Copies of this chain bind each other. A is one copy, B any other.
Amino acid sequence: MPVGDPRQRRATMQQVAALAGVSLKTVSRVVNGEAGVSPEMTGRVQDAVQRLGYRHHHGASNLRSGRPTGLVGALVQDISNDFCAELLRAVEAATRERGQVVAVASLDDEPQRERAAVEGLIRRRCDGLILMPSGTDQSYLQAEVSAGLPIVAVDRPPGNIALDSVTSDNLGGARDATAHLLRQGHRRIACLVDDLGIMTATARRDGYLAALREAGVTVDTQLVVGGLRTDADAAATLTRLLAVPNPPTAVFAGRNTITLGAVRALRATDLSHTVALVGFDDVVAADLLDPPVTTIRQDAATEGRLAVEILLARLDGDPSPLFTEVLPTELVVRGSGEIPAPRSP
């Protein structure tokens, strides 16, 4: 077997044709499984293909044929985050069936990274994009959309542009979570959310506020904290909140990492069984913790599946008006959220 150059140089159809003693076009026909080639020719070509280790050049093929590239982009916040990873899994499963390839990127909620990633994929002529928007402005995508590139926003609504989108009912879920805590008698409920530049964080805080308002409970702005990026942030913040006079008796955690941070803080202060906790978004071993963590479940897999279904439909020419799916969330009662409020002093 010949040792390859470091610079990849692969056999071309031309070379296969030469070795097989046939024309270029015949090789093309055999390689593409077109009918109307004699068995003998077919055999000779396949032989040459084997011998030269010929591989079809999808890119060159596409250049001429104008067919789609079969490259789909999936840009999420963080591919190592459970929620994103599950969503991607669903996307990947659907595209694999079509022989498409999925390019992924973590944007870490940096709009600049989003633009760079999109740019890279467009230069590579991806067929479509699934995007978890960073920041609040996706208007730069207008040119691409107008050029016919299907883009589906997932998990968060896009800003300043109309795109197909699949999101969870963040506001409703947060309201449910907060209402649940209110029903246990809590009135001082901390609200810990991510960076408020992120639409979902804002929506979840708004859901919290809505629930309080509906219950006629006055908001203590000291108990509402945004900008929490990591579980360590969340743990530190909650520890601080618990240390002041008249501390919260319950916590609404606006994200899975924040929930974990909250659990750590409650453990450290020995308040796990005293302070109630409801988290938005499931945590892996939520049922195994003590107490088990009550959460608002949002279905990442369904979000991904729906998004990719819409994308593939668009690729197939579906002319429907804009899809804006909003998936319901589900309160999963496990224990931590049912800790009652202490009797009023």
Contacts and interface: CB of A to CB of B under 8 A. Distances in A.
Given A89-B78, A285-B284, A289-B289, A317 B6 contact: yes
A342 interface: no
A142 B103 contact: no
Interface in A104-125: 104-106, 113, 116-117, 120-125
A91 B114 CA distance: 18
A19 interface: no
A36 interface: no
Contacts of A149: 4, 8
Contacts of A103: 71, 101-104
A10 B58 contact: no
Per assembly, the copies of the chain total 2
Nearest to A61: B123
Interface of A: 1-10, 53, 55-60, 62-63, 66, 68-71, 78-82, 85-86, 88-89, 92-93, 96, 99, 101-106, 113, 116-117, 120-125, 127, 142-143, 145-149, 260, 263-264, 267, 283-285, 288-290, 314, 317, 319
16 contacts: A1-B142, A1-B146, A4-B147, A4-B148, A57-B125, A71-B103, A89-B106, A92-B104, A96-B116, A101-B105, A101-B120, A102-B103, A260-B284, A260-B288, A263-B285, A284-B284
Given A9-B147, A79-B79, 7 more contacts: A1-B143, A59-B125, A89-B106, A93-B106, A96-B105, A99-B120, A101-B124
